[in-house]
Amino acid sequence: MSLDECKRKRSNIKRNISRIKSIVESIRETEDKPPHAELQCRLGILESYFKQALSVQADIEDLDPSDNGRADLEDSYVAVKLSIQAPLGEDGNTTVNYTETAASAPVVPTSHLPRLSLPTFSGDYAEYKNFITSFTQIKARESRLSNIERFNYLLSCLKGSALETVKAFQVTSENYPNALDRLKERFDNPTLIFLEGIASRFTLQPAEKSNAQ
């Protein structure tokens, strides 16, 4: 990814972070008791956006060591997080590990998401159907989530070639179904699933000597 592309991606993430702040401020102005579940959900999405921003910022600094955008990102994140934490109190005490990347699992509010852990998928054809079935069923139970929020949770579940498949999509409501279609197009392939299963049988380590086991 070029420097200009990285900076455009960073700008998009910053806009999404600012959008969360606007939504939270609107909620606080119009409701005497802001709903904890929604604020915690927004906090989880903020954490996910910030992880993406840190990953992109690291790429930018590799390409341009003189770039000083990290401080601005951190200031934006802190400002939005404080605006969410104020009405949440101790319930909003979540932190981001700076060593994590966008592919890591996000900090999620336990009172809003199901107890069942989100599945992960790294590009193994044989595992695609199990992954997508589990993921869509879990997310279907969270009717209040927007497509942007669902998209961020999807990204947090993907690794390796699976993440690379949808990485080019900007995180927008419209691109969420497009990302699901792209995953299906690439990994829901019966022929490749069959061939991968056959190949796995030839990778078994031979026994060094005869034994009962």
Residue ranges covered by each domain of the chain: 1-104, 113-201
Q: pLDDT digits over 103-143, tens only?
A: 444 444 444 444 557 889 998 888 898 899 888 887 777 77
Q: What's the DSSP call for residue 207?
A: P
Q: Which of 45-54, 92-101, 159-168 has the lowest average pLDDT? A: 92-101
Burial class, 109, CB count within 10 angstroms (exposed 0-12 / middle 13-18 / buried 19+)? buried
Q: pLDDT digits over 158-197, tens only?
A: 999 999 999 889 888 899 999 999 999 999 877 766 565 6
d(CA 185, CA 170): 18
